[in-house]
Amino acid sequence: MNKQPSKIRDRTWDFKNADTKKYTHCFHSYPAMMIPQIAGRILDEFGKDAKILFDPYCGTGTSLVEANIRGIDAIGTDINPLARLIAKVKTTTIPIEKLDFYIKQFADFILTANLSDIGSELKIPSFKNIDYWFKKETQIMLAAIKGFIDKIDDPDVQDFFKVAFSETVREASLTKNGEFKLYRMSKKQIEKFNPDVFSVMLQKLLRNKKGMSEYVSAKRGNAKAYIYDFNTVHGIPQSIIPPRSIDIVITSPPYGDSRTTVAYGQFSRLSNQWLGFEDFNEVDKRSMGGVKAKKIIKFNFEPLDSAIKDIETKDLRRALDVVAFYIDYKKSIENVSKVVKENGIVAYAVGNRKVKGVQIPNDEITREFFQRNGFEHIVTIIREIPNKRMPKRNSPSNIVGQTDSTILSEFIVILKKAVMTSASSLCNSVPKTSMITEI
């Protein structure tokens, strides 16, 4: 019997021309989002009999939506309050006629609002640098919208409006387009920038209503999603997820510490401040690798230890950043492993980042950490990232003009939890396609 390849390059997983904004996936931009086609295909090929899915770094809930569409209950957790809000709204069905009613009320409000009369009644938040990121007239319009939202009496509809408002905040700010870190526009750009904040908000509401209508029509049965804020690095509450209770885990974890890869907290900061989330400042600090390591340690996995050693010769501080991230990543995987059933599936979509020009084999590290916790590797699928919102280049030397490519491919690492009482072989099947290349 021929042994199946452990890694395959499969172009059918690239989804280059796929509609990634169908259903409620259209609701809100967010850095490094897993595209829904990946979560959906993993469920279809590896989770046909699954009853419950868990996403330990759920972000805005892509995998949760795809599970619910297929009639599968889902649990997600994320430390970012904005991400949790978006994930909750994307997986909460709201009757379209109810949305029509409130959206019409909002349309009437913006037609009749006299900002000069109500300006003294508006509650503009007093966070630091608000005048640096928002023009005064923009602040007034955003405050008027927030005042309208605060008066909505239906909690689900209010949250629906908050998600549209969050994206409006981002687009009405003086941040550069296409960036997920906070970079201010040039002086010349600022002079020309006069957003129609009310129109932007209304367009977001109408777009999201369409997505909700598609989601309501596609959703099977009474599947639900449950969103939490626990950090899997520190453990998974048994009262929420008992040991050996999860059928399938589908997720796209951070590829490295937030400060040097994707700054989720920084991307969300302005929205979180306008929405009044008090714990927004802790997002990047609480993320994996957020607490600095004090010394270099070995993980007893040569590819990782070798990469850390190479980075250390170039920059000790950056090597300590890498160590800190993988200390937390290893703990998180240990905790996730405990809640997966025997024969349960885990699928991690990861990227192999570069630090100081040194490639870190995140796919092999993920595989190794799970195998140490009783999992057997099924396959790693390599795909290009044509439409994932990630930086394409960075500056490993911090010298102006010197850049290097970052993450251009994604690795979907799929493993199966072994049956503890049996040494029987596990499923090693891989998707059949003529576009597969063995690596």
pLDDT of residue 178: 74
Q: Which residues contact 71 (CB under 8 A, 6 or more apart)?
A: 219, 220, 221, 223
Provide the 3-class DSSP secondary structure of residue 158: helix
Q: Which two tokens stand for residue 244?
A: 């050996």
Cα–Cα distance measured from residue 2 to residue 399, given in angstroms and rounded to the nearest whole number: 49
CB 358 within 8 A of CB 307: yes
pLDDT of residue 119: 57
pLDDT of residue 285: 74
Cα–Cα distance measured from residue 306 to residue 299, given in angstroms and rounded to the nearest whole number: 10
Cα–Cα distance measured from residue 23 to residue 66, given in angstroms and rounded to the nearest whole number: 9
* pTM for the structure as a whole: 0.89
Longest dimension (CA), the chain: 80
pLDDT of residue 20: 94
CATH number at 7-80+222-262+283-438: 3.40.50.150
Cα–Cα distance measured from residue 29 to residue 31, given in angstroms and rounded to the nearest whole number: 7
CB 65 within 8 A of CB 36: yes
Cα–Cα distance measured from residue 232 to residue 78, given in angstroms and rounded to the nearest whole number: 9
- The structural domains of the chain, with segments of one domain joined by +, span 7-80+222-262+283-438, 96-216
User: Kind of pairing, strands 225-228 and 73-77?
Assistant: parallel
pLDDT of residue 425: 44
CB 280 within 8 A of CB 272: yes
Cα–Cα distance measured from residue 105 to residue 196, given in angstroms and rounded to the nearest whole number: 18
Q: Per-residue DSSP letters for 338-354?
A: HHEEEEEEEEEEE---E
Which amino acid is present at 379? V
Cα–Cα distance measured from residue 23 to residue 166, given in angstroms and rounded to the nearest whole number: 19
Give the 3-state DSSP-derived string for 356-371, with helices as H, strands as E and coil as C.
Answer: CCEECCHHHHHHHHHH
Phi, psi of 355 (to 5 degrees): -130, 120
pLDDT in tens, 342-391: 999 999 999 999 999 999 999 999 999 999 999 999 999 999 986 555 44
Cα–Cα distance measured from residue 247 to residue 23, given in angstroms and rounded to the nearest whole number: 24
pLDDT of residue 386: 65
Which amino acid is present at 238? Q
For the chain, state the CA radius of gyration: 23
Provide the 3-class DSSP secondary structure of residue 379: strand
Which amino acid is present at 419? V
> Which residues, given as ranges, of the chain have pLDDT below 70?
1-5, 115-120, 257-263, 279-282, 284, 386-407, 421-439
